[in-house]
Chain A
Amino acid sequence: MKNKLILFLGLFLSTSVAVLAQDNISPARKQAIDSLALEKVKDLSKYISIIGSKETQFSEANRVMDRAEELFAPGAEMGVSSINTQEIAYYKVRRYFERLMALNYDRVNITWYDIQYISDLERQPDGRYVGVITIYQRFEGTSIETGMNYKDTTKKDITIYVEKKQTQIAGRTIEFWDVMLGDVRVTETSA
Chain B
Amino acid sequence: MRKTFLIFAFFIAIISNVPGQGLGSPGTIKDDGRFAASTKQLNQFFRRFNGEESVDGNIRFYPQDSLYRNLPLRKGFLTILFDNQTSSISPDLKNQFTKNVLSEVYPQYLVFHQPGWYAEVNTEFFFKGKREKATLIMKIQAEGLGYEWVIDKVIFEPFKNLFNKPVGDQKAFLHPLSHEIGFMNMRRAFQDSGSPESFTPSTYEPDYLAIFLYEMKQNNLRFETVTGLKFHFFQIEGWYFEVNQFNRPGFNTGWLISNLVRLGPGDKETILKYIYDQE
Contacts and interface: CB of A to CB of B under 8 A. Distances in A.
A21 B29 contact: no
Contact of B145 (A126, A135, A190): A126
A191 B249 contact: yes
B146 A41 contact: no
Contact of B23 (A27, A30, A116): A116
A94 interface: no
Given A17-B142, A124-B146, A126-B145, A114 B28 contact: yes
Contact of B34 (A88, A89, A138, A191): A191
B145 A138 contact: no
Given A42-B23, A191-B249, A117 B147 contact: no
B145 A115 contact: no
Interface stretch (B39-47, B74-82, B162-170, B261-269): B39-47
B28 A189 contact: no
A157 B43 CA distance: 12
B147 A86 contact: no
A134 B23 CA distance: 11
B248 A111 contact: no
B128 interface: no
B249 A114 contact: no
Nearest to B140: A122
A46 interface: yes
B72 interface: no
A89 B226 CA distance: 9
A125 interface: yes
A45 B28 CA distance: 11
Interface centre among B23, B30, B44, B226 (most CB of A within 10 A): B23
A132 B43 contact: yes
A103 interface: no
A122 to B, nearest CB: 6
Contacts, number: 118
B247 A187 contact: yes
A161 interface: no
A117 B41 contact: yes
Contacts of A120: 43, 47, 60, 112
Contacts of B25: 42, 45-46, 112
A164 to B, nearest CB: 12
Contact of B225 (A18, A45, A87): A87
Contacts of A187: 247
Contact of A42 (B24, B112, B227, B253): B24
30 contacts: A38-B21, A42-B23, A42-B25, A88-B226, A88-B227, A90-B225, A112-B22, A112-B23, A113-B28, A113-B31, A113-B35, A114-B29, A117-B44, A117-B57, A119-B43, A120-B43, A120-B47, A120-B112, A123-B145, A124-B146, A125-B145, A126-B144, A127-B146, A132-B43, A134-B41, A135-B23, A136-B31, A155-B40, A187-B247, A190-B249
